[in-house]
Amino acid sequence: MNYNWNWGIFFEQSPEGTGSYADMLLSGLVWTIVTALCAWVIAFAVGSVIGVLRTLPSRAAQAIGNAYVELFRNIPLLVQMFLWYFVLPEMLPESWGTWLKQLPNAPFYTAVVCLGFFTASRVAEQVRAGIQALPRGQRMAGTALGLTTAQTYRYVLLPNAYRIILPPLTSEFLNNLKNTSVALTIGLLELTARARAMQEFSFQVFEAFTAATIIYIVINLLVVAVAGLIERRVAVPGR
């Protein structure tokens, strides 16, 4: 292979004129992290609500929860990105569509919403599984003490369910972080997009993607470490 290795490329000025190639990758990393965190806020909140809906006695609530999960987990994430970014503005009244398209950072907002709703369907499945893994008597005990259904979830079922599903929830967070790379297709300048730009400007494909790979691994290992800390922190004595 006739390849011209140049590890010093990271410190060379990028043609964008806003700093070195390293700065370019770092700015991509910032977008990746911000997108992942914002999407996770949506995913966790919506996912918890949908997961709870699927465990309520009400058939209607279950149906709504099921419909949400099946809709959002059975369409490829890439297709969902395109639907939100290219199709949705055309379906709305014209003035709204134009407003959406002219929004500054539109790829960012779209990626956050799309990824948030997509990941929510997966979080919902975990939350449902966690609640259903609890002994049936826990719900009965809360109910028998006079707690309302909402109070039973808030004070009894969810605190225990979240503890059970912390490991799979960590995996979902990692997926969520990695899935931000799909947003490069709608123009979000996140880490993978920046690595590709670096490759195109400098032709140093190996260096660019080696850097991206290492950055993803390091960030994800950090997430795993933090999740481990949380797990120890919320562990219940005597269990």
The residues that bridge with 225 in the sheet, in sequence order, are none
Number of residues lying near another protein (CB under 8 A)? 22
Give the C-alpha separation, 116 to 175, whole Å: 12
CA atoms within 13 A on the CB side of 43: 30
Rule CB under 8 A: is residue 11 a binding residue for another protein? no
Rule CB under 8 A: is residue 30 a binding residue for another protein? no
Give the C-alpha separation, 167 to 224, whole Å: 9
What is the C-alpha end-to-end distance of the chain, expressed in Å? 57
From 27-35, 103-111, 116-124, 151-159, span contacting another protein (CB under 8 A): 151-159
Crossing angle for the helix pair 21-53 and 205-234, to the nearest 10 degrees: 40
Rule CB under 8 A: is residue 140 a binding residue for another protein? yes
Q: Which of residues 76-135 bind another protein (CB under 8 A)?
A: 135
Rounded least distance, CB 178 to another protein, Å: 31
Rounded least distance, CB 34 to another protein, Å: 32
Residues 159-198, mask of contacts with another protein (x by CB under 8 A): xx--x-----------------------------------
From 88-96, 155-163, 185-193, 221-229, span contacting another protein (CB under 8 A): 155-163
Rule CB under 8 A: is residue 230 a binding residue for another protein? no
Cα dist. 83→89, 90, 110, 116, 183 in Å?
A: 9, 10, 10, 14, 12
Rounded least distance, CB 45 to another protein, Å: 21
Nearest to another protein of 104, 135 (CB atom): 135
Tokens standing for 21? 């190639």
Here the contacts of 139-143 (C-beta below 8 Å, separation 24 or greater) are none
Among 156, 183, 189, 219, binds another protein (CB under 8 A): 156
Rule CB under 8 A: is residue 137 a binding residue for another protein? yes
Rule CB under 8 A: is residue 233 a binding residue for another protein? no
Please name the residues in contact with 147: beta carbons below 8 A apart, sequence gap of 6 or more: 155, 156
CB distance 124 to 65 below 8 Å: yes
Q: Write phi, then psi, for 79 (nearest 5 degrees).
A: -65, -40
Rule CB under 8 A: is residue 60 a binding residue for another protein? no
**Contact positions vs another protein (CB under 8 A):** 135, 137-138, 140-148, 151, 155-156, 159-160, 163, 236-239
